[in-house]
Amino acid sequence: MITITDKHNCCGCSACVQACPKQCISFEEDEQGFRYPLVDKAACVDCGLCEKVCPVLNAGEPRHPLAVYAAINPNEEIRRESSSGGIFTALAEAVLDESGVVFGARFNDQWEVVHAYTESKEGLAPFRGSKYVQSRVGETYRQAKAFLQQGRKVMYTGTPCQIAGLKRYLGKEYDQLLTVDVVCHGVPSPLVWRNYLRDITANNLSQIASINFRDKSTGWKNYSVKICGQEETPFVNESYRKNPFMQVFLKDFCLRPSCHTCPAKSGKSGSDLTIADFWGINDPDWDDDKGTSLILVHTCQGQQSLDSCNIPKKQTSYEDAISHNPSIEKSVAENKFISLFWQQYYNDGLNNIQSLLDKTKPSIINRLHRKIRRLI
């Protein structure tokens, strides 16, 4: 039976919750807003299934990609709405053209991030764009399995640990399943997100009309966070460097503990494809600052799906890909001020966060070191 004694050992994929034949595992939110499984011991029959499907207890082997590409979706509008080069939509449309089903992360009516599915191209729009909050997988592994058993083609997208959880949950390979994970820095706390939205809307979330974590009107690299209401003036429209939620996310103050010891990076998720931003693409023909996708191909099925969506792509090396994107392989270290952050957060929310952020600013010498390392 699943027992969480160290929170680093649960990525919250919910494979155990969905697999339990007695439905005696519930998901409880902790004080940081992350959900963990809790077993009703009286109802448990000790079948061991929850442990069998857990991607942390059964981590996969790291894989070196078979091929690496830079790619750009030629549809400019879709690329603008996407966080990177829009490869997610290109892959998804090819699956829908074969009467398939696509799973991804979207906002619900409370602006929480949840997994859901669509069978139409219009239904892809809410999945577009990165949402920097842990998404709730809900019942989607069960739903994906039901579609697969009907013989439907299924594309399931998510973080590497969500793909690892799905694969363990399914327990066998399906020819019609395409799994695509995103390179993952880590997922910030849903609690910090919820409270941030309440703060900026004076506790009236229904005023929000749209949220874009990666608005490209200021460029792909120097993106902005844009949160609009019904009025002309947005609630938030500022560089990610200035946005308090993005600052605490990128400084690793409020990531899920498992993100510091990720069980699914480096291809361990078992996905067919991994997609990401091609940060540091060193080719002016492939960088117009409107977004370029990086694609790591792990399986022949992944290569076939990529070829079938017929978008311009250029083959490149894994070394090129990894040099500006350490999150492909490495978990981020735990910020030594995490406890201080939570202490301050419970007292004062994200107000006065600047002094804490200043403490974590790298010194000039460290910055110089980093630059030299990059150049080398």
Taking CB under 6 A as the criterion, which residues in 343-362 touch ligand SF4? none
Minimum separation from the CB atom of position 134 to ligand SF4 (A): 7
Q: Is 24 in the site for ligand SF4 (CB under 6 A)?
A: yes
Q: Please, which residue, 38 or 205, has the CB nearer to ligand SF4?
A: 38
Residue 306 interacts with which of ligand FAD, ligand SF4, none, CB < 5 to 8 Å by class: none
The 3-state secondary structure of the chain, one letter per residue: CCCCCCHHHCCCCCHHHHHCCCCCEEEEECCCCCEEEEECCCCCCCCCHHHHHCCCCCCCCCCCCCEEEEECCCCHHHHHHCCCCCHHHHHHHHHHHCCCEEEEEEECCCCCEEEEEECCCHHHHHHCCCCCCCCECCCHHHHHHHHHHCCCCEEEEECHHHHHHHHHHHCCCCCCEEEEEECCCCCECHHHHHHHHHHHCCCCHHHCCEEEEEEHHHCCCCCEEEEECCCCCCCEEEECCCCHHHHHHHCCCCECHHHHHCCCCCCCCCCCEEEEECCCCCCHHHCCCCCCEEEEECCHHHHHHHHHCCCCEEEECHHHHHHCCHHHCCCCCCCCCHHHHHHHHHHHCCCCCHHHHHHCCCCHHHHHHHHHHHHC
What does 44 bind: ligand FAD, ligand SF4, none (CB cut-off 5 to 8 Å by kind)? ligand SF4
Which one of ligand SF4, ligand FAD, none interacts with residue 165, CB within 5 to 8 A by kind?
ligand SF4
Candidate residues 33, 37, 86, 270; the one interacting with ligand SF4 per rule CB under 6 A: 37
Which partner, ligand FAD, ligand SF4, none, binds residue 157 by CB below 5 to 8 Å per kind?
A: ligand FAD
The reply to whether 55 sits near ligand FAD by the rule CB under 6 A is no
Q: For residue 12, state whether it binds ligand SF4 (rule: CB under 6 A).
A: yes
Give how far the C-alpha of residue 292 lies from the chain's centroid of Cα atoms, to the nearest Å: 17
In whole angstroms, how close is the CB of 47 to ligand FAD at the nearest point? Answer: 29
Q: Which does 46 bind (CB under 5 to 8 A by kind): ligand SF4, ligand FAD, none?
A: ligand SF4
Identify the residue among 35, 128, 136, 216 touching ligand FAD (CB under 6 A): 128
Decide if residue 104 touches ligand FAD (CB under 6 A).
yes
Query: Would you give the binding string for ligand SF4 spanning residues 232-271, x where CB under 6 A is met?
Result: ------------------------x-xx--x-x-------
Among residues 27 and 80, whose Cβ is nearest to ligand SF4? 27
Which of 140/224 has CB closer to ligand SF4?
Answer: 140
Q: Classify residue 228 as left (phi > 0), alpha (psi -120 to 50) or beta.
A: beta
Nearer to ligand FAD, 18 or 293 (CB): 293
Residue 170 binds which entry of ligand FAD, ligand SF4, none, with Cβ cut-offs from 5 to 8 Å by kind?
none
Contacts with ligand SF4, residue ranges (CB under 6 A)? 1-2, 10-16, 20, 22, 24-25, 37, 39, 44-50, 53-56, 159-161, 165, 184, 186-187, 256, 258-259, 262, 264
